[in-house]
Structure formats: C-alpha cells, structure tokens
Amino acid sequence: MRTATLGPLGEVSRLTLGGGGIGQIWGENTKDEALATLTAAIDGGITVLDAAPMYRNCEAFIGETFGGRLPPGVKVTTKCQLGSPAPSEVNERLEAALEASLAAMRLKRVDLFFLHSNIHLDGFEYAHGNANRDAFSTSWSIYVEEAVPTFARLKAQGRIGSWGITGIGVPTAVLDALDDTAHPDAVQAIANLMDSPGALKRYAEPARPREIAAAAKARGIGVMGIRAVQAGALTAGVDRPLSPNSPDNADFARAAGFRALCASWGEDPAVVAHRYALGMPNIDTVVLGVKNRSELAQCLAAETAGPLDPVQVAAIDALGLARG
C-alpha cells in the first residue's frame, strides 16, 4: 500500500476505510461481513479508519473487532454533527459526542475529530433546506468562537490528536476556515471525476472541491478525499433505492458516458473512479465507502494498479462531467 503525509497526522495509507458501508448505511450488509471487512482492510495495508456515530454500527463494530487495542500504526477518526446550538452548549455537545464515540470504540483517544456539520457564514441562507439550517450547519461565529477553542482544549488534553472539518459546506466558508489563523489539521473534501457532492450540496454556488483541496495543501492541512464514486453514481449500479429526484440519481444518469467508456476499456467503473481519485492532486488519502470484502478487494486492486495514465484521464475529462 502506498502512503502519503496527512498533514500533522503524518504517514497514512493512500486508502482509508470509511465507516458508512461498515456501519450498514450503504446497502445491505451483515454484521459478520462488516467485522471481516474491518480486519481485511488492516490486512490489506489500510491504516486509517474513518468512523462517526451517524454511521450506525460502525464505531461499535470497531470496538468489537479490536477490543480497544488498535493494531500498531492504525489511526482512527470520529465526527460530531454539531449544527448551530446555543453558544453555551457547544463545548458540552462536542465533549459528549467524543466521549460516546470513545466508549463505543473502546478507546481512550482518537487521532482526528471532525466537525461534521456544514459551515456557513453568519446570515447565509441555503438554497435547499434552509429551514433546518441549524441542524446540519454551523454558523461562522459559533465555529470560530466556540468550536475551535473546544477542539484546541481537547487536543491539549490529549483526548484527540488533531481536529478537522468536513469540507462539504458552503465553499466560501470552508475556504475561510482553511485560511483562518486557527485552521484545522485536516479537511475532508470531495474527490471524484464529476467534482460532485451529489445530495450533500444544499447551496447554490459551485462546489469548488479541487480549489478547497489545493488551498488546504498550501497551508499544510491534510486532505482526505471523499465520495470517489459519488455515492454509487460512478459505479455499474447503485446498490440502494434512490428517489427519482435525488441528485445522486441524476449523477448516475449523467455518468452513462463514463460507464460506456469504462466498458470500452474492459474496466469496472468503480475501479476506474477510484484510480482517478487516487491520481487527483492534493489528495492524501481516499476514503472508501465499501461495505464488504468484495468491494474492498476492488479498491485494493485499484490502489495497486495506481493512478490512471494521462490518456485515460484526458478521455474521462473530455466527457465534460466535472461541475467545477
């Protein structure tokens, strides 16, 4: 397994095992298969487990698989969907979320603790779902004045190694956070050939994921690439029911030309999509959404094969699927 430097976290594997599939939110999966996939990921050279309480059973499965003793060199993350509570509640909510995750995983600390909310500038209105903004998004003032100091305290206490943000919120606010004096140690950024956040995009402006990744790297911030197959839109077939109006469903339809191109090469589109993401500049590690050992094996094979050659990348880019 190739490695890269994830900001101040140091050397990590180029692939990270995401918790969604393991936690049984990405299609059907049994507990036994989830536990076996966790073990197979470590055996395959993966050194980062990307967990979160909203990934259903993921953290409990990590705790059960490793019994509170992670293999040497393996790092683990968790997250908190903070939203925009009253400022006086921020510290308590972040600490309570961390403690619950540590208990589930049977750990005393995590290497990386993410603010999983969107971030929006004060007064911003979302194009979609604005009425629920305080549930899924953290205002700039709460982020800077309350969340960042809490992360700093947790880091000083040794309960977390580093902290980060999930950079799927309003790009203007994400870029401001990366440029702030008290910037995060890591960011999760969209990394797929469509530059698409899919159903995660609630704002009207362009997503700008490559700009976000470049800005992070320029500041020495680690970058974890997410949604390499865009929630299944860049695979041979989506593995769960989708609403006809779902942005992920629309992306799957838009990617028909990509699947045809992969077929002409005799390649599986999911493998090609992962190899494309692995070749994207400024991405340190690509987070996998796999749910079983078969899907994991595909991704391990993609990493072994390495990035696509320039001719293949040019052919994909010529399809005009990137949103920018």
What digits encode the pLDDT tens for the residues 37-50?
Answer: 999 999 999 999 99
Give the pLDDT of residue 245. Answer: 84
The residue ranges of the chain whose pLDDT is under 70 are 324
3-state SS, residue 316? helix
pTM over 0.75: yes
What does the pLDDT read at residue 24?
Answer: 80
pLDDT of residue 10: 96
pLDDT at res. 299: 96
Find the length of the chain: 324
Q: Domain coordinates of the chain in residue numbers?
A: 3-317
pLDDT in the model for residue 254: 95
Cα angle 287, 59, 6 (rounded to 5 degrees) comes to 35
CATH (one of 3.20.20.100, 3.10.200.10, 1.25.10.10, 3.40.50.11540) for 3-317: 3.20.20.100
DSSP letter assigned to residue 145: I
Whole-number Cα distances in Å, 312 to 2, 191, 315: 21, 17, 5
